[in-house]
Structure 1
Amino acid sequence: MRLIEIVIFGITSLTLILKCHPKFKKNTFVYYLPFLAGALIPIQLLVEGYRWQMVPIFIFIGGLITVDIFQIMRRGGKEYLISHKFVRNTLITLAFLLLLISFIFPVLLPVVDLPDPGGPYGVGKTSLRMIDSARQEIYTAETDDHRNLLVTIWYPAQTDKETPVCTYWDKKGIIGKAYSINADMGSFWYSHLSIVKTNSHCDAAVSSAENSYPVIIYSHSFYGHNTENTMLFEELASNGYIVASISHSIETIGSLYPDGEFVPGDYAYISELFDTHSDIEENLYAEITQTDDINVKIELVKEILVVDEESNNLIETRVQDAIFVLDQLEILNQTGGIFDSKLNLDRVGIMGWSFGGATAIEASLADDRFKAGIDIDGWPYGEQFASEKTISQPFMLIQSGDEDELEDIVGQLIFEKTTGPSYRLAVENTQHTNFWDFPLFFRIYQRFDYWGSMDPIRMTEINKAFILEFFNKYLKGMDVDFLTDASEQFPDVSIISVNPGS
């Protein structure tokens, strides 16, 4: 909890304790403590911002104030409002239970500020709309609808106290509402992320410390959001990278454009597409469990990766998104805006988590302007991967620690597709869902097996040691032996395979 929230809970708890203490229970000043807590509520709302998790304690304080007003008016504060001892003690016990309940939500769903990034640069953030007039939007009914992308960019920035700090999600709560509805949690559940402060400064000037900076394009998870790895983006930006994260329209929680227009994703439509081949995939998975022959299993996994036409179509759409964004960045680099001449487009990397990892693989095969790539725990769908092409660029695969036989087969298939310097790692104590920001915001979910036991702050340190240093080596050309250095510091990261390349 934040400071003023703690003070409010402290005063309220003290009030109940003193009301039960023989020495203080009839002391007049005890009856005025709830008024002090109540006076702090508008200050808390003004300074720290509204969040629904605090509503129960606000109501509780209002109840205490009401009771004390009656107490003072009717008995002058010298006698109990309720004379019957059993009834009075029952109500006091109930009050403690209600206080405990009101304490649960602010503690379990806290407002957590993101950890400071470790690089020497300040971090800026801005968003752009990019419309591909050459591509029709295939996921909407309108025939004249063109592919319309939101791209959010984190970058090394010149920051000062006058530059506003961005919140994690928009202050109006539009993204939070969309995410809550999609997760069937009610429109309020994730709303507090709109008051989480980041380390990014909105629309700050690009740092002049370097003439230009390498670029990394990020592709989000299936039906995810392009801010899902903000901690990683800030770490990269603070170390001298410009990170452009694409919101893949329709197949996303939603795109909130700079002009305020919000276009939600269409999960029902996307899911319906995937249902087309679900029976075939289920049969293939069943066949895998019925054989002990590893070669047969490998062939079945290969078939799974190509049988779902919709996965391949979605990946192809995402790859075209990434290529289009890279084309637009080339134009942006010459238009006189804040990124004029600041984008080093000879040094471009691509990465993504889950479905975004598959996009990074496929884009690396499709366009050699991507000089290095990282797949964060994603399966390799797409026609390019199914072809005879190989990934000649430096490439790294990071897998979760709950690896099973299928994951091992997939990881090996990806690694065998590489001919350049390549790395395959596994992070212990993680599941697929550990590789984004939410484990920091919702630690309690770990109790319900939503993600592994890896501490989210340590996860950012692992990202810094491996992802950052990988790009330092292959985009900046720095002489770093990141595997040796990081392996000593992070024994919970297993180095499965390494190909030094030719």
Structure 2
Amino acid sequence: MSGTLRKPRSKYDLWKIRRNKQMKTYDAFPRPVGSYTVGRTQMDFDYTASDHTKRELTAFVYYPSDSNEGKITSTYMFPEVYEMFHEQPLITVLKDVFSIDIKTQCYDDLALSEKEKRYPVIFYVCGGGGSPEWGTVICTDLASLGYVVVSIGHQNSTMYKRKDGRLFNVSKGFSDVIMAFSEDPGMQVLAGKMEMQPDDKTALEMCRNVLTLPILAKLTEYSELQAEDIRHVADYLYKLDSGKLNSIFHGRLLLDIGMGIIGHSYGGPTTAIVCRDDYRFICGIGLDSGAFGLLDSDLNKPFLLLFSEPNYNMNAIIGSNNSMETYYFSVDRAAHLDYCDIVFTCVNEAFRGDRDSMEMRHLVTDYTRSFFDHYILQKAASVESLVYDGVNLVQKTSSK
């Protein structure tokens, strides 16, 4: 289910097996959709969380630039991180699924563009067990359109190499909780009852049943810690903008209009929690994600969910509780991992959906761009005006 990586076995898994097709492979990510050259820089963060644990994070920041300054493109993923991925007990079924031998479309440590005085900010949250680099395509696209995009490596729940050289893999505790959730007898019974296209009432009832499972308590704790990481890094951005800390972002971040946030899979609940708890984040997007920790939560922020069935069963409660607009768009012929970079890096067709990689990329970027342009920049862009075959507006709840 959402936030869980398992080998495809039935229609209730979020992957589709592609048959009788030769999978296209790529040696480079697609050119960004916007006009800006994209810079990327890495930052490390250390702080003590509310549970008194020391958190040691990293983040990749993608931003608009005017020139590549003659530099070569950024490395996609550090080889050491890729090796750690294959050591994870959580997702051993994903061995040899994706490659890191691909060219990015961003450049390390460029100057910030001078075309605008300030640039709006978005955060990206990768899936559990993943890496902050897994969102390189969407982050690069958004930066090329004029956004500063921050993708964090979260201690325990993701894997990354810090700028100081130290490596962090997914912890056994997080792996155990994810596996316990996927193997929980109650969860397995509910998964077997999930309908592919449930009506609103059925989806809401199923979602409530999932969110009341006792196993969700520990899983939610990790989501809350990820949300705390994001709030800490957001605090840091305010210091960079104010000049309290020296950087290219001094006086250049458009923070007074509010920030956006987008998360894939297990990163989706974190995204919603951040929207719920931090007034600085004014809207959010969940990509094929669930609603862990959100049983009785009013996000009070516009929220969009782009997902493959039967995931409506896992997130229907978000719109039911939200006092602001909530959009639900179902996407057919898409696999769970198609919402991140694996749509281009995949080398195992069993984990790809039937949509063309470029079409899937444009679909995700278009819905994301239109949503953030409207709710952050107050542009006339509308996600309801977008037309993609097999993408349907399941529900839209209006502000109450």
The answer to whether the superposition gives a TM-score over 0.5 is yes
> Does the 8 A contact of 1:177 with 1:191 survive in 2?
no
Query: In structure 1, which of residues 195, 219, 243 is the aligned counterpart of residue 125 of structure 2?
Result: 219
Structural mapping, 1:316-335, within 5 Å: 316-334=224-242, 335=245
- For the aligned residue pairs, the C-alpha RMSD in angstroms reads 2.9
Q: Which residue of 1 aligns with 2:249?
A: 339
Q: Which residue of 1 aligns with 2:396?
A: 498
Unmatched 5+ stretches in structure 2? 1-21
TM-score by length of 1: 0.68
Q: Distance in 2 between matches of 1:478 and 1:186?
A: 40
Query: In structure 2, which of residues 201, 208, 220 is the aligned counterpart of residue 312 of structure 1?
Result: 220
> Does the 8 A contact of 1:125 with 1:200 survive in 2?
yes
Q: Which residue of 2 aligns with 1:263?
A: 168
Q: Distance in 2 between matches of 1:359 and 1:246?
A: 12
Q: Which residue of 2 aligns with 1:365?
A: 276
Residue 113 (str. 1) matches residue 18 (str. 2): no
Q: Distance in 2 between matches of 1:152 and 1:399?
A: 25
Query: In structure 1, which of residues 440, 445, 450 is the aligned counterpart of residue 348 of structure 2?
Result: 445
Query: In structure 1, which of residues 156, 159, 166 is the aligned counterpart of residue 67 of structure 2?
Result: 159
> Does the 8 A contact of 1:288 with 1:297 survive in 2?
no
More helix as a share of residues: 1
Q: Distance in 1 between matches of 2:133 and 2:204?
A: 35
Q: Distance in 1 between matches of 2:194 and 2:30?
A: 47
> Does the 8 A contact of 1:411 with 1:424 survive in 2?
no
1:111 to partner: Cα distance: 5.5
Structural mapping, 1:386-425, within 5 Å: 386-387=295-296, 389-400=297-308, 403-404=309-310, 407-425=311-329
Decide whether aligned partners of structure 1 residues 342 and 311 sit closer, same or farther in structure 2, where only a CA change above 3 A counts.
same
Decide whether aligned partners of structure 1 residues 112 and 309 sit closer, same or farther in structure 2, where only a CA change above 3 A counts.
same
1:357 is paired with a residue whose SS is helix
1:237 is paired with a residue whose SS is helix
Could you give the per-residue CA deviations for residues 44-97 of structure 1, whole angstroms, max 9, x where no partner exists?
A: xxxxxxxxxxxxxxxxxxxxxxxxxxxxxxxxxxxxxxxxxxxxxxxxxxxxxx
Residue 352 (str. 1) matches residue 269 (str. 2): no
Could you give the per-residue CA deviations for residues 230-280 of structure 1, whole angstroms, max 9, x where no partner exists?
A: 11111000001011011111211x2211122222222x332334566677x
Which structure exhibits the higher relative contact order, with contacts defined as CA atoms closer than 8 Å and separated by 6 or more residues? Answer: 2
Residue 434 (str. 1) matches residue 334 (str. 2): no
1:492 to partner: Cα distance: 2.3
Q: Which residue of 2 aligns with 1:376?
A: 287
Query: In structure 1, which of residues 274, 277, 282 is the aligned counterpart of residue 185 of structure 2?
Result: 282
Residue 235 (str. 1) matches residue 146 (str. 2): no
Unmatched 5+ stretches in structure 1? 1-106, 139-145
1:326 to partner: Cα distance: 1.0
TM-score by length of 2: 0.84
Structural mapping, 1:170-249, within 5 Å: 170=78, 173-182=79-88, 184=92, 193=100, 195-249=101-155
> Does the 8 A contact of 1:176 with 1:190 survive in 2?
no
Query: In structure 1, which of residues 129, 144, 157 is the aligned counterpart of residue 44 of structure 2?
Result: 129
2:255 is paired with a residue whose SS is strand
Q: Which residue of 2 aligns with 1:78?
A: none
Decide whether aligned partners of structure 1 residues 341 and 428 sit closer, same or farther in structure 2, where only a CA change above 3 A counts.
same
> Does the 8 A contact of 1:179 with 1:190 survive in 2?
no
1:134 to partner: Cα distance: 5.0
Query: In structure 1, which of residues 444, 455, 462 is the aligned counterpart of residue 356 of structure 2?
Result: 455
Decide whether aligned partners of structure 1 residues 125 and 210 sit closer, same or farther in structure 2, where only a CA change above 3 A counts.
same
> Does the 8 A contact of 2:203 with 2:312 survive in 1?
no
Q: Distance in 1 between matches of 2:365 and 2:151?
A: 18
Q: Distance in 1 between matches of 2:300 and 2:50?
A: 28
> Does the 8 A contact of 1:284 with 1:300 survive in 2?
no
1:186 to partner: Cα distance: 11
Q: Distance in 1 between matches of 2:155 and 2:246?
A: 27
Query: In structure 1, which of residues 464, 470, 478 is the aligned counterpart of residue 371 of structure 2?
Result: 470
Q: Distance in 2 between matches of 1:425 and 1:296?
A: 17
Decide whether aligned partners of structure 1 residues 110 and 180 sit closer, same or farther in structure 2, where only a CA change above 3 A counts.
farther
> Does the 8 A contact of 2:98 with 2:348 survive in 1?
no
> Does the 8 A contact of 1:274 with 1:310 survive in 2?
no
Q: Distance in 2 between matches of 1:163 and 1:289?
A: 52
Q: Which has the larger radius of gyration?
A: 1
1:391 to partner: Cα distance: 2.1
Decide whether aligned partners of structure 1 residues 276 and 343 sit closer, same or farther in structure 2, where only a CA change above 3 A counts.
same
